[in-house]
């Protein structure tokens, strides 16, 4: 497995990665035709707690139900031929929540990583993580690392879990990494361009998200993949994550296919 920065749970992409991850960036103007699929879908899974409260249930029940939505979304992305799926599981800001809820989330994540291994292998899904390992329980990290290892040879869809992740911290760390290289003389500051900076991010080697989905109706990106979603198409649904089903994902994919992506250029005549 490739060497990674200490705060990452997955590995940086290598030439042996899936064809979807190795694909060249989409040219300006690509996409937006009937049947077009995003190569990379990112989802902000929101509304678990509100869904539970609206039904008189504890917040943790919303998180428990949300795991079933993760399974549905993963399997349906595989069926539809999406190359990469990134799920925002836990932000760095979520540590402000009650300790009991956080402990439950960590147990739920560990349980998911163990119980889903057979399905991930059956679907040939490759797994990685972005975010900081510091602060995560040792048992959760052990389950994560073992599942990543088991799935490393899979050649199907790439599933990336953003855990203890914050985009601003990611960007700051990338800047520090490049600054250290410049200080040590291994990098000319004038050689730093967008591609070089992107290569210093946690998502190095991955195509940027083409489609960003957010559930529960909130109209914000919540410090998620700020660099990478510069040209992502946004799709927001009022449906809370525990009730997010295959039909909602199909609606998002259809909306993406109907859009014309110009990347700052002009529409074709």
Catalytic residues: 46, 94
Which H helix or E strand runs over 87? strand 84-91
74-107 b/e (C-beta count within 10 Å ≥ 16 → b): bbbbbeeebbbbbbbbbbbebeeeeeeebebbbe
Cβ neighbors of 199 (< 8 A, separation 6 or more) are 205
Of 249, 233, 234, residue with least CA distance to 30? 233
3-state SS, residue 4: coil
Pairing, β 126-130 against β 84-91:
unpaired
* Cβ 25 vs Cβ 228: under 8 Å: no
Token duo for residue 165: 């992740």
């Amino acid at each position: 497995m490739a060497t990674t920065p200490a705060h990452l749970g997955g590995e940086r992409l290598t030439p042996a990665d899936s064809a979807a991850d190795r694909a060249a960036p989409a040219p300006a103007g690509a996409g937006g035709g009937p049947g077009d699929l995003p190569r990379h879908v990112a989802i902000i899974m929101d509304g678990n707690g509100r869904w539970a409260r609206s039904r008189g249930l504890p917040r943790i029940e919303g998180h428990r139900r949300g795991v079933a939505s993760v399974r549905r979304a993963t399997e349906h992305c595989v069926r539809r031929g999406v190359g990469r799926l990134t799920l925002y599981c836990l932000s760095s800001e979520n540590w402000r929540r009650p300790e009991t809820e956080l402990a439950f989330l960590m147990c739920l994540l560990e349980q998911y990583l163990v119980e889903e291994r057979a399905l991930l292998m059956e679907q040939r899904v490759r797994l990685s993580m972005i975010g900081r390992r510091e602060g995560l329980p040792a048992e959760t990290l052990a389950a994560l690392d073992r599942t990543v290892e088991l799935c490393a040879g899979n050649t199907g869809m790439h599933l990336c879990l953003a855990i203890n992740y914050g985009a601003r911290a990611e960007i700051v760390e990338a800047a520090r990494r490049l600054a250290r290289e410049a200080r040590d003389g291994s990098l000319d500051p004038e050689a730093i361009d967008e591609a070089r900076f992107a290569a210093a991010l946690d998502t190095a080697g991955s195509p940027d998200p083409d489609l960003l989905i957010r559930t529960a109706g909130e109209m914000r990106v919540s410090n998620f993949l700020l660099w990478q979603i510069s040209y992502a198409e946004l799709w927001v649904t009022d449906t809370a994550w525990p009730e997010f089903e295959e039909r909602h994902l199909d609606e998002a994919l259809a909306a993406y296919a109907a859009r014309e992506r110009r990347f700052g250029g002009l529409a074709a005549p």
